[in-house]
Amino acid sequence: MKKDLLKLADLSPQEIVEILDLADKLKKEQKQGIPHKILQGKTLGMIFTKASTRTRVSFEVGIYQLGGIALYLNGNDIQLGRGEPIRDTARVLSRYLDGIMIRTYKQRDVEELARFSTIPIINGLTDYCHPCQVLADLQTIREYKGDLKGLKLAYIGDGNNMANSLIVGCIKMGMKIAIACPANYRPDAQIIQWGKESGLLELTEEPKKAAANADVFYTDVWASMGQESETALRKEAFAKYYIDAKLMKYAQKDAMVLHCLPAHREEEITGEVFEEHRAEIFDEAENRLHAQKAVMVKLMCDK
């Protein structure tokens, strides 16, 4: 049966570890110039109805390095943008392609695409979650800190798609996660409940509380794609939800800082902290390539 990656909850902890291990292996091979054309002759369709730099380029380069090719399908250029139903798009594309990565607004649409496709579907970000990003994040944290179990991640900012996926990813790996966000901007209620039951999720409105003894800081933009009209309102609501050198004093001395990017300096993170931690932030961006290659191999390889 085909397998999809629609959200991290679809993966068991064991499957996440397998993806991270494979991502490390592929990264090492690529650095050493060892070819790994595991998906020779395969074609990945990439549907985008939102902007992207990292996701688009890393998937396209990734499938190429694996011996396959990618097709960039802008939502406005295909008939989907003119109202062709998702289910028909899924049925047609399944006849041509070996896998689809989709970035769009509604999680429901990605799930419908998966339901009517006979090929693997990979979620490249929805308003609800961003599983590929968090796989790269976990790979990066493991590179810097070793074992993930027992580490604490402090997320400061909007309870958005990133927060939702980080809660699931961190907890599945046995990490503690503290989310500091305004009361009106909490992560998904069901994910909060699931997280609370694990005993590893802390929800607070106080950034300092979240930061206490953290090993990893994480933040994301205050206004996500599709929320541009709320920018002014959100600037006010999130005014105290940022990472600066002062907040970092509450954490472990060697705490690392991650950001999915793109970043808004002097909003969710100061330029000073961003530049000081650029090594891990751009390793994280690079790891999108390696983690996604691992995902594609796991889902699209016949052997």
User: Catalytic residue positions?
Assistant: 103, 130, 133, 220, 260, 288
Q: Strands, E, within 139-264: which ranges?
A: 152-156, 176-180, 201-204, 216-219, 256-259
> In the complex with ligand CP, which residue's Cβ is closer, 234 or 259?
259
Q: Minimal distance in Å, beta carbon 28 to ligand NVA? A: 26
Are 205 and 142 spatial neighbours (Cβ–Cβ below 8 Å)?
no
Distance of alpha carbon 263 from alpha carbon 204, whole angstroms: 23
Q: Minimal distance in Å, beta carbon 102 to ligand NVA? A: 14
Under the criterion CB under 6 A, does residue 52 sit at the interface with ligand CP? yes
Give how far the C-alpha of residue 78 lies from the chain's centroid of Cα atoms, to the nearest Å. 25
DSSP assignment letter at 123 = E
Element (H, E) at 140: helix 131-145
The option from ligand CP, ligand NVA, none interacting with 53 (CB < 5 to 8 A, set by class) reads: ligand CP
Q: Among all residues, whose Cβ is closest to ligand CP?
A: 55
List 65, 104, 117, 133, residue binding ligand CP (CB under 6 A)? 133
Q: Among all residues, whose Cβ is closest to ligand NVA?
A: 224
Contacts to ligand CP from residues 225-264, by CB under 6 A = 260-261
Contacts of 100 (CB under 8 A, 6+ apart): 44, 45, 46, 47, 93, 113, 117, 119, 120, 121, 122
The option from ligand NVA, ligand CP, none interacting with 263 (CB < 5 to 8 A, set by class) reads: none
Return the C-alpha torsion angle 144, 145, 148, 151, nearest 10. -120
**Segment contacting ligand CP by CB under 6 A, of 46-54, 111-119, 172-180, 229-237:** 46-54
The option from ligand CP, ligand NVA, none interacting with 220 (CB < 5 to 8 A, set by class) reads: ligand NVA
List 12, 53, 213, 231, residue binding ligand CP (CB under 6 A)? 53
Closest CA to 256 of 268, 267, 243: 243
Are 179 and 204 spatial neighbours (Cβ–Cβ below 8 Å)?
yes
> In the complex with ligand NVA, which residue's Cβ is closer, 125 or 243?
125
Under the criterion CB under 6 A, does residue 166 sit at the interface with ligand CP? no
Under the criterion CB under 6 A, does residue 176 sit at the interface with ligand CP? no
Kindly report the backbone phi and psi dihedral angles of residue 277, in degrees, each rounded to the nearest multiple of 5, phi listed first.
-110, 25
The option from ligand CP, ligand NVA, none interacting with 78 (CB < 5 to 8 A, set by class) reads: none
Q: What is the binding site for ligand CP (CB under 6 A)? A: 52-55, 125, 133, 260-261
